[in-house]
Amino acid sequence: MKINRWILLVTGLALMQTAVAQDTVADRWLSFEGRNAPRLVGHRVAERFAGSAHFNYGRPGPPKYIYYPEACTWYGALTYARTSGDTAMARRLTERFEPLFGVDAALVPPAVHVDYTVFGIVPLELAVQTHEPRYLGMGRRCADAQWQIDAAEDPPAEARAFAADGLSWQTRMWIDDMYMITMVQVQAYRATHEPGYIDHAAREMAVYLDSLQRPNGLFYHAPDVPFYWGRGNGWVAAGMTELLLSLPPDNPYYDRIMKGYHNMMAALLRYQTKEGMWRQLIDDKDSWPETSGTGMFAFAIISGVKNGWLPPERYGPAARKAWLALVGYLDDHSDMREVCEGTNKKNDRQYYLDRRRVVGDLHGQAPVLWCVTALLR
């Protein structure tokens, strides 16, 4: 018995020393000061969001609904506020939501499509932070709707087939869904601790990985569009990362998802530019460095280094270069430059190369806040 206890003690000390050593290496690569300090950057970008009107893709007037880029930025601002202890910002972001229960209730999107349903991550994050039932109720309705095909209006045969197989009826086999669907379920799990939500997310992610991940670790924009679009792949990287942050290691899909994550991160390492960026088309040297995809990849790699999923000696330098490069694209108004505009799929290389590069689009603002949260965790 004494020998066994001695072995356990020595083993435990060794594991602690390894963890401390990994943390030290990670800190060496992921400590930033001055204008690059994550707390400062996070406050700037969150302040920019909190003081802005509802996002409408540059069109005049308010949007019909709260669209997914705003939901993702709102979520990022809330997690920044939580991890940094910025209570004033958390209060402002919560107050921004209040009209959605009243005068602006029509802006709450119907949970009938992935781009609408992902709105649920915002009230669910508010539920995590405030424990108020009304946020939880609104967020759960979004999460539950993803698996309630009977509530859908005239769903197509493909949706019925996915639902019959135990997947979300909103499944499309577009890579964007690997964030849009799974993230709502992850957030519902975080807010309720009910395992059914995380089980839904894990199986959905595993099916998408088995169906869409290419041998090189990356993802075509869609099965019929053989191009490695940056932000599309970014949604995958961010979705897997958020899921792994909450997925219990004994979940039957944990190893499959971690393998898919590792394969993708290894591919991203090969295609990072010397400046730290990733391109609009990841593997196309003629395409331009793009910030929204870069931010999503940076979030995934920073999280991997910080959580011990990725060896810090190999991935720490890539994470550092990515963050420093990304911050360099923030202008004096705290807007990200070189953000690819909203993009549909098209089997045409030139279509992706010719997409407009916009400034301050929330597709680019959101990942910066995700990175800040990852660095502050």
Task: Give a yes or no: residue 16 inside a domain.
Answer: no
Q: Domain of 291?
A: 21-376
Q: For 249-286, give the DSSP string.
A: TTSTTHHHHHHHHHHHHHHHHHH--TTS-EESBTT-TT
Residue 66: the pLDDT is 98
Distance CA 169, CA 162 (A): 6
- pLDDT(255) > 80: yes
- Does some domain include residue 31? yes
CA pair distance 215, 255, nearest whole angstrom: 17
CB 239 within 8 A of CB 179: yes
Q: Is residue 248 part of a domain?
A: yes
Average pLDDT over residues 306-325: 98
What rounded mean pLDDT belongs to the chain? 94
Quick one: pLDDT band at residue 24, thresholds 50, 70, 90?
Answer: low
Task: Please tell me what DSSP assigns to residue 34.
Answer: G
Mean pLDDT of 255-260: 98
Q: Rounded distance, CA 368 to CA 294, Å? A: 9
Residue 153 belongs to some domain of the structure:
yes
159-174 mean pLDDT? 96
Beta strands in the chain (DSSP E): 278-279, 289-290, 339-340, 357-358
Mean pLDDT of 349-369: 98
pLDDT higher than threshold 50 for residue 84: yes
Helix (H, G, I), strand (E, B) or coil at 42: helix
Q: Select the more confidently predicted residue: 15 or 68.
A: 68
Task: Evaluate if residue 76 carries a pLDDT over 90.
Answer: yes
More confident residue, 35 or 8: 35
Dist. CA 168–CA 188, nearest whole Å: 15
Instruction: Please indicate, yes or no, if residue 8 is contained in any of the structural domains.
Output: no
- Asked if the model's pLDDT at residue 25 lies above 80, the reply is no
d(CA 129, CA 131): 6
Report which residue type is found at 112: V
- pLDDT above 70 as % of the chain: 93
Instruction: Please answer whether residues 122 and 75 qualify as being in contact, where contact means their C-beta atoms are separated by less than 8 angstroms.
Output: yes
Position 17 scores a pLDDT of 54
**pLDDT at 28 (0 to 100):** 86
Pair of tokens at residue 203: 């199986």
pLDDT tens-place string over residues 280-311 = 999 999 999 999 999 999 999 999 999 999 99
Within a domain: 11: no
Q: What is the pLDDT of residue 1?
A: 44
Give the phi and the psi of residue 332 in degrees, each rounded to 5. -65, -15
DSSP assignment, residue 65? S
Dihedral sign, CA of 320, 370, 289, 287? Answer: positive
According to the model, what pLDDT value does residue 22 have?
Answer: 54
181 lies in some domain: yes
Checking if the pLDDT of 16 tops 70, the result is no
pLDDT at site 92: 98
What pLDDT was estimated at residue 94? 98
Sign of CA dihedral 50, 52, 53, 58: negative
Query: Residue 13 has what pLDDT?
Result: 54
pLDDT band at 12 (very low <50, low <70, confident <90, very high): low
Can you give the CATH number for the domain in which 115 is found?
1.50.10.10
| 104-108: average pLDDT | 98
In the chain, the number of structural domains is 1
Mean pLDDT of 26-50: 95
pLDDT score at 228:
98
In a domain, 36, yes or no: yes
373: closest CA among 40, 45, 84? 84
Q: Which two tokens stand for residue 135?
A: 């946020």
